[in-house]
Amino acid sequence: MGFKFIEHTADVVIEAWGETLERAFENAARATFEVMTDTSRVEPRVGREIEVEGFDLENLLLRWIEELLLLFDSENLLLGEFKVERIAETQEGYRLNATVRGERFNSEKHESRTHVKAVTYAQMKIWKENYTWRVRFTLDI
């Protein structure tokens, strides 16, 4: 698995990683939904194309996770598959294009763990270390 949870008193701090920045962002999304449910039980029945932009990489990560949380809040859509096709630098900052898949929350099938209110900049950091991209961010629960 390309993520871990870091102990924190009130929130959830996640550190995710991957060989590429795209994989690190995928693992950040997966970790976010693992806080909410067991993603291994989420079937890829519904797909969505996602495009988000950020003025820097930290803002892009925040907007990416916000967009996924919005899908859950507005459509009750639990996500279990995340494919970031591309993170590209633009004149305004960065753009992320991805495909995500999941299914509507069903209390008889899906474990309800912790409700995530928001993603925040607290402890946020994005860096490359020994050929591995790493991202750290905090979820407000």
Return contacts of 66-70, CB within 8 angstroms, 24+ apart.
66/118, 66/119, 68/29, 68/32, 68/33, 68/100, 69/32, 69/116, 69/118, 69/119
pLDDT at 6: 76
Total number of domains in the chain: 1
- Identify the CATH number of the domain in which residue 46 sits: 3.55.10.10
User: Is 141 a known ligand-binding residue?
Assistant: yes
Range of the domain at 45: 3-140
User: Is 140 a known ligand-binding residue?
Assistant: yes
pLDDT at 1: 61
Higher pLDDT, 38 or 9: 38
Residue 3 — pLDDT band, cuts 50, 70, 90?
Answer: confident
How does the average pLDDT of the chain come out, rounded? 96
pLDDT at 8: 65
